[in-house]
Amino acid sequence: GQSYPGKPKIIRCRSLEKETFSCWWKPGSDGGLPTSYTLFYSKDSEEKIYECPDYRTSGPNSCYFGKNHTNPWTTYNITVMATNEIGSNSSDPQYVDVTSIVQPDAPVNLSLEAKTSASIRYLWAKWSPPPLADISSNSHVYHYELRLKPEEKEEWETISVGVQEQYKVTRLQAGVKYVVQVRCMFDLGEWSEWSSERWVQIPNGGSPPEKPTITKCRSPEKETFTCWWKPGSAGGHPTNYTLLYSKEGEEQVYECPDYRTAGPNSCYFNKKHTSFWTIYNITVRATNEMGSNVSDPHYVDVTYIVQPDPPVNVTLELKKPINRKPYLVLTWSPPPLADVRSGWLTLEYELRLKPEEGEEWETIFVGQQTQYKMFSLNPGKKYIVQIHCKPDHHGSWSEWSSEKYIQIPTDFRVKDMVVWIVVGVLSSLVCLIMSWTMVFKGYRMIAFILPPVPGPKIKGIDTHLLETGKSEELLSALGCHGFPPTSDCEELLIEYLEVEDSEDQQLMPSHDSSHPSKNAKMIPKETDSDSGRGSCDSPSLLSEKCRESHALPSRLQTQDIRDVQENKGGKGSWETQCIASEEKIFLFNNESTKSSTWPTAQLPNNQPPVFAYHSTTDAHKITLSTTNTNTAPALVGNEHQLQYPITETVHDDMEKQREVENLHSKTDQTTVQVKQNRPNGKPPFLNPKLMDYVEVHKVRQDEKPAVLLKHKENSGKTEKYIVPGTSKEYTKVSTVMDHNILVLMPDSRIQHTSVSQEPAMEISQNLQQGQDEKNMSYCLAVPSECKRETSGSEYMDPSSFMPSFK
Amino acid sequence: CHTSGMPTPNGKEYAQNIPREELTHLILKLLQAWKEPLSHFNQHIEHHQELPDDSLSKAKQISNMVHELKTGVEKSMGIISNSLNGMASSEATGLSISSEANMMSDSDFIHCFRRDSNKVQSYLKILKCRIMPENSC
pLDDT score recorded for residue A729: 53
| Statement: residue A578 has pLDDT above 80 | no
Q: Residue A566: which of A582, A580, A585 has the closest Cα?
A: A580
Tens of pLDDT, residue by residue over A320-344, are 888 877 788 888 988 998 888 888 8
Closest alpha carbon within chain B to A248: B4
d(CA A285, CA A208): 11
Domain end call among A414, A447, A465: A414
In a domain, A446, yes or no: no
Q: Is residue A262 assigned to a domain? A: yes
The secondary structure of residue A458, as a DSSP letter, is B
Does the structure show a pLDDT above 70 at B10? yes
Q: Is the pLDDT of residue A287 over 80?
A: yes
Residue A690 lies in a domain: no
Interface test with A, best of B12, B23, B119 (most A CBs within 10 A): B12
Are A297 and A353 part of one and the same domain?
A: no
Residues of B in contact with A369 (CB under 8 A): 136
Of the candidates A406, A386, A388, A407, the residue with the CA atom closest to the CA atom of residue A398: A388
Mean pLDDT, range A641-664, rounded to an integer: 41
Whether residues A51 and A78 share a domain: the answer is: yes
Indicate if A115 and A90 belong to the same structural domain: no
What SS3 class is residue A106? coil
pLDDT above 70 as % of chain A: 52
Same domain, A121 and A184: yes
CB pairs A-B closer than 8 Å: 51
Same domain, A348 and A288: no
SS3 A95: strand
User: Helix A471-478 and helix A558-566: axis angle, to 10°?
Assistant: 100
Taking residues A389-417, report their average pLDDT. Answer: 80
Q: Closest CB to A393: pick one of B12, B15, B121.
A: B121
Q: What is the mean pLDDT of residues B73-86?
A: 63
Query: Does residue A484 have a cis bond before it (omega within 30 degrees)?
Result: yes
Question: From the CA atom positions of chain A, what is the Rg in Å?
Answer: 69
**With an 8 Å Cβ cutoff, are A342 and B126 in contact?**
yes
Position A395 pLDDT exceeds 80: yes
One domain for residues A24 and A93:
yes
A640: pLDDT strictly greater than 50: no
Contact between A107 and A74 (Cβ < 8 Å):
no
Mean pLDDT of A760-766: 41
Torsion region of A479: left, alpha or beta (phi above 0 gives left; psi -120 to 50 gives alpha): left
What is the nearest CA distance from B11 to chain A, expressed in angstroms?
A: 6
Looking at the fold, whether A70 and A124 belong to one and the same domain comes out as: no
- A241 and A192, same structural domain? no
- CA dist A117 and A203 (Å) reads 12
pLDDT at residue A290, as a whole number: 72
Range with top average pLDDT, A548-552, A592-596, A733-737, A792-796: A733-737
Nearest chain B residue to A221 by CA distance is B12
The single-letter code of the amino acid at A405 is Y
Q: What is the pLDDT of residue A494?
A: 54
The mean of the pLDDT values for chain A is 67
Pick left, alpha or beta for residue A174 (phi over 0 → left; psi -120 to 50 → alpha; otherwise beta).
beta
Strands of A327-333's sheet in order across: A312-319, A327-333, A371-374
* Bigger pLDDT: A262 vs A557: A262
Which pLDDT belongs to residue A244?
92
The pLDDT of residue A478 is 58
**Cα A547–Cα A553–Cα A558 angle in degrees, nearest 5:** 145
Mean of pLDDT values over A714-720 = 42
Of B15, B118, B137, the CB nearest to A341: B137
**A419-A422-A423-A425 Cα dihedral, nearest 10 degrees:** 160
Q: Is A549 helix (H, G, I), strand (E, B) or coil?
A: helix
pLDDT per residue over A592-621, tens digit each?
444 333 433 344 444 444 443 444 444 444
CA distance A435 to A779: 54
The dihedral region occupied by A134, where left means phi > 0, alpha psi between -120 and 50, and beta the remainder, is: beta
- A64 pLDDT more than 60: yes
Q: Is the pLDDT confidence value at A429 over 90?
A: yes
Q: Which residues pair with A62 in a beta bridge?
A: A24
* A256 shares its domain with A317: no
Instruction: Choose the final residue of a domain: A388, A414, A440.
Output: A414
pLDDT at A299 (0 to 100): 93
* pTM for this model (two decimals): 0.43
pLDDT of residue A284: 92
Residue B26 scores a pLDDT above 70: yes
Confidence band for A770, pLDDT divided at 50, 70 and 90: very low
Q: Regarding predicted confidence, which is higher, A15 or A515?
A: A15
Confidence band (pLDDT; 50, 70, 90) for A211? confident
For residue A585, what is the enclosing H or E element?
Answer: helix A572-591
Other beta carbons within 10 Å of A151:
12
- CA dist B12 and A301 (Å) reads 15
Among partner residues B4, B8, B118, which is closest to A303 by beta-carbon distance?
B118
Residue B7: closest CA among chain A residues belongs to which residue? A277
What proportions of chain B, in percent to the nearest 5, are helix, strand and coil? 80, 0, 20
**Chain A residues whose beta carbon lies within 8 Å of the beta carbon of residue B15:** 344
Least confident of A34-38, A180-184, A411-415: A411-415
Domain assignment present for A59? yes
In single-letter form, the type of residue at position A731 comes to T
CATH number at residue A19: 2.60.40.10
Which residue of A lies nearest to B116 if distances are taken between CA atoms?
A: A277
Cα separation of A109 and A181, whole Å? 11
pLDDT, position A565:
41
Q: Which domain holds residue A322?
A: 312-414
Domain definitions of chain B by residue range: 6-75+122-136
Examine the pLDDT at A449 and tell me if it is beyond 50.
yes
Distance of CA A263 to the CA centre of its chain: 57
What is the average per-residue pLDDT within A483-506?
52
Same structural domain, A237 and A195: no
For A660-707, write each residue's pLDDT tens digit.
Answer: 444 444 444 433 333 444 444 444 444 444 445 555 555 555 555 554
Q: Is residue A683 part of a domain?
A: no
A363: pLDDT strictly greater than 80: yes
Residue A263 in domain? yes
A646: Cβ contacts below 8 Å, ≥ 6 apart:
A475, A476, A478, A479, A480, A481, A482, A483, A489, A492, A564, A577, A581, A615, A616, A685, A686, A687, A690
Half-sphere exposure of B117 (CA within 13 A, CB side): 17
**What's the pLDDT score for residue A4?**
78
CB atoms within 10 A of CB A789: 26
Residues A321 and A410 both lie in one domain: yes
pLDDT band at residue A495 using 50, 70 and 90 as cut-offs: low
Residue-wise pLDDT for A723-762, tens only, equals 444 444 555 556 656 665 555 555 544 444 443 344 434 4
Confidence at A427, pLDDT banded by 50, 70, 90? very high
pLDDT band at B89 (very low <50, low <70, confident <90, very high): low
CA atoms of A96 and A793, how far apart (whole Å): 159
Alpha-helix runs per DSSP H in A603-733: 616-628, 632-643, 653-666, 718-721
Whole-angstrom distance, CA of residue A198 vs CA of residue A704: 165
Sheet strands side by side (includes A733-737): A695-700, A706-710, A741-744, A733-737
- Please enumerate residues of B whose Cβ is less than 8 A from a Cβ of A: 4, 8, 10-13, 15-16, 115, 118-119, 121-122, 125-130, 133, 136-137
Q: How far is B111 from chain A (nearest CA, A)?
A: 11
Listing DSSP states for A689-710 in one string gives TT-SS-EEEEEE-SSS-EEEEE
Q: Enumerate the β-bridge partners of residue A388.
A: A350
Which of A302, A251, A255 lies closest to A283 in space, CA to CA? A255
Between the alpha carbon of residue A20 and those of residues A69, A183, A668, the distances in Å are 8, 20, 145
Q: What pLDDT is stored for residue A791 in this prediction?
A: 43
In A447-605, at which residue ranges do the beta strands (DSSP E only) sit? none
Burial annotation A408-419 (CB, 10 A radius, 16+ → b, else e):
beeeeeeeeeee
Out of A276, A341, A368, the one facing B11 most closely (by C-beta) is: A276
Whether the per-residue pLDDT at A546 is higher than 50: the answer is no
Calculate how close chain B gets to A342, using CA atoms only, in Å: 6
Which residues touch B21 (CB under 8 Å, ≥6 apart)? B77, B79
pLDDT (0 to 100) of residue A643: 39
Q: Which residues of B66-103 are buried (b: 16+ CB within 10 A; e: fewer)?
A: bbebbeebbeebebeeebeebeeebeebbeebbebbee
Query: What is the pLDDT, as a whole number, of residue A644?
Result: 40
Q: Does one domain contain both A229 and A273?
A: yes
Q: Please, are residues A411 and A319 in contact by the beta-carbon 8 Å criterion?
A: no
What domain count does chain A have? 4
Averaged pLDDT, A521-537: 45
- Residue B129: pLDDT band (50, 70, 90) is confident
Average the pLDDT over A526-545 and give the result: 46
Q: CA angle at residue A800 from A797 to A802, to 5 degrees?
A: 110
Q: Which of B63, B65, B43, B45 is nearest to B55 (CA)?
A: B45
